[in-house]
Amino acid sequence: MSSPNPIRSESFEIGLLADYPEAVRVIAAGYEVEWDFWYGSGGRASARSDLLERSQTDRLPLGLIARRASEPIGAVALAANAITPRPELSPCLIGLWVAPAHRRKGIGTALLRTAIVKAAELDFDIVYSATTTEPAFFMRAGWKKIDKLIFKGDAFGVFSARCGQA
């Protein structure tokens, strides 16, 4: 999954965000709409800064993007200690997002699978994720629910996947 050998399908390919710096602007715009409370004008964080931080090739945080005909249409990242109440569940998958017009075509699942492959390349055995909104999506992709937690009033399902299962 390194830059000369991206995972491809008929209609999209997945590669390292670091290889496509021009994608940061488009993905950041998508994040700002999707997670307005966090990345929007009243939010506390900068999507652009987070994505630039994830533009690395061989260490965490590490971002991946999906592209269709050179257009960035999705993203995900692996990060250390990202589940605030359970920092030991690391690395954690964050920022999983597919542009609304491209959903339900398998791109999110492909991003998950590629993140697991990348985690294995970085010598991790297990990847974690916490979600408020998409438990069914993780279950269908073969992830195991290992915990639930309440953080700042929101209920999260905590999921894990073994790196060998991708």
Ligand X SMILES: CC(C)(COP(=O)(O)OP(=O)(O)OC[C@H]1O[C@@H](n2cnc3c(N)ncnc32)[C@H](O)[C@@H]1OP(=O)(O)O)[C@@H](O)C(=O)NCCC(=O)NCCS
| Chain residues in the site for ligand X (CB under 6 A) | 34, 96-98, 103-109, 131, 133-134, 136-137, 140
CA distance 30 to 9: 22
CB of 96 to ligand X, least distance (A): 4
CB of 120 to ligand X, least distance (A): 20
Closer by beta carbon to ligand X, 19 or else 34 = 34
> At which residue do the structure tokens 């697991």 appear?
116
Q: Helix H segments across the chain?
A: 23-34, 36-39, 47-53, 107-121, 135-140
Closer by beta carbon to ligand X, 4 or else 44 = 44
Tokens of 93: 């998958």
Closer by beta carbon to ligand X, 2 or else 151 = 151
For residues 101-114, one letter each, b for 16 or more C-beta atoms within 10 angstroms of the residue's C-beta and e for the rest, the string is ebeebebbebbbbb
Cβ neighbours around 20 below 10 Å, total: 18
Closer by beta carbon to ligand X, 24 or else 95 = 95
CB of 61 to ligand X, least distance (A): 16
CB of 139 to ligand X, least distance (A): 7
CB of 34 to ligand X, least distance (A): 5
| Number of residue whose CB is nearest ligand X | 108
Task: Count Cβ atoms within 10 A of the Cβ of residue 65 and give its class: 0-12 exposed, 13-18 middle, 19 or more buried.
Answer: buried
Closer by beta carbon to ligand X, 3 or else 132 = 132
